[in-house]
Amino acid sequence: MTQSIFSHTYPNGLVLVAEPMDWLQSAAFTFLLPAGCVHDPADRGGLGGFTCELALRGAGERDNRRFILDLDNLGVERSESVSSTHAGYSGATLAENLPKALAIYADMLRRPRLPEDQLEAGRLAMLQELRAVEDEPAHKVMIELRKRHYPRPWGQPSYGDRKALEATTIDDVRRHFHRYYCPNGTILGVAGRVDWERLKDLVGQLLGDWSPGGDDGIDESHCVVRYEHIVHDSQQTQIGIAYPSVPYRHREYFQAWGAVGVLSGGMSARLFHEVRERRGLCYSVYATHHTLWHRGAVFCYAGTGADRAQETLDVTVGELTRLAKGIEESELDRLKSRIKSALIMQHESSTARSASLARDWYHLGYARTLDQVGRLIDELTSGSINAYLSEHPPSDFTVVTLGPRPLKAPDGVSQ
């Protein structure tokens, strides 16, 4: 199937990037707005998430209930989230319903009600999310790991903390919205059965005269924690390990990503085979590559019984360190098979493609077709990955554990 990606930047800075997929009956969109939680004030952690929640509670002539009903009547499957860098709003529907769906979201972005009478309901939703994290130790340890591995504020979570959420006012929410929900820095990715020229004109009519906002810089403060234990009354211990890597925009990103794919992703991957299957040390273990615009990291997790936690940590770090010795051709072959299956699935998903288009544009300033990604995967060799690992061996580990007792940090990790 021939793939073409179109893009247009409007005078106010809004970027539209789209990929027509004429073999589908659906169309999907992803808004990325420069309103991530890195902008949360120190005493208002979670403000970005709170704002994302309230923004959906009515816009223009639609109150909270009408806003949701109109999207439901269009069959829009939707989601929203807040990351370090963005507030994201996504939806998918039948292609003929896309213009009406985009019009509703344009109303939200430009004429939100942000109703004061919904503030407490929004607060309860945020507090429930916070409690869900506190009740899920595996999730909590990885959030705490990210907070300690990345420089502040890049690792702070979107859900904030109880004290900040209880203190947040409607004026806080409204100020945050009007400061960071702006067209300059916003990316709209669209994929599916769409006509490019009509789409470009439609988005121009809806959002082309949206007034741009300011451009705040981010002040980083480095964290020096290398090992930290969080006491938690449990028979299990949660282990989080992180080390630096390269970001998506780096020329060797796919080598870094491929190395992590050998570590984790399927029952034949190294961590699953060595830590769980062969030694029976844990009930869950994985590694994943995470990227910001300017830096990347590998985050690893293992969940185990407290009595086997030290051995699990030692063996997992040992596998990470052993990765520097290189991978085998057979491991790369299995990885490529998994990746190609995932790419084929994306050919059938307008939702996945709209998100990929927006994400690519943010990191690269352009979007890759799936054929281009496929060629980059085909060009991966064990030699190129091993050369990368030789230059960038897993090291400088940050370790966070959560459980009844602290562990002895591995060699090279200060306590």
Lowest mean pLDDT among 57-71, 113-127, 161-175, 265-279: 265-279
* Residue 218 pLDDT grade (very low, low, confident, very high; cuts 50, 70, 90): confident
- What residue spans define the domains of the chain? 6-207, 227-403
- 6-207 and 227-403 share one CATH topology? yes
DSSP secondary structure code for residue 62 in this structure: B
* 373's tokens: 């990604």
* 262's tokens: 């050998």
Q: What is the mean pLDDT of residues 63-89?
A: 97
6-207 folds as: Cytochrome Bc1 Complex; Chain A, domain 1 (3.30.830)
Q: β-strands 6-9, 87-94: how paired?
A: unpaired
Respond yes or no on whether the N-terminal peptide bond of residue 406 is cis (omega within 30° of 0).
Answer: no
227-403 folds as: Cytochrome Bc1 Complex; Chain A, domain 1 (3.30.830)
Average pLDDT, the chain: 93
CA distance readout (Å), 199 to 103, 184, 189, 212, 385:
12, 19, 11, 21, 41
pTM for the model stands at 0.94
User: Can you tell me the distance from the alpha carbon of 212 to that of 205, in angstroms, rounded to the nearest whole number?
Assistant: 16
Q: What is the mean pLDDT of residues 346-354?
A: 85
Report the residue count for the chain: 415
Q: Which residues of 26-40 are buried (b: 16+ CB within 10 A; e: fewer)?
A: bbbbbbbbbbbbbbb
Phi/psi class of residue 266: alpha, beta or left (left: φ > 0; alpha: ψ in -120 to 50)? left
The residue type of 257 is W
State the pLDDT at residue 344: 67
pLDDT, tens digit, 9 for 90 and up, residues 14-50? 999 999 999 999 999 999 999 999 999 999 999 999 9
| CA neighbor of 26 nearest in space, from 343, 344, 348, 342 | 348
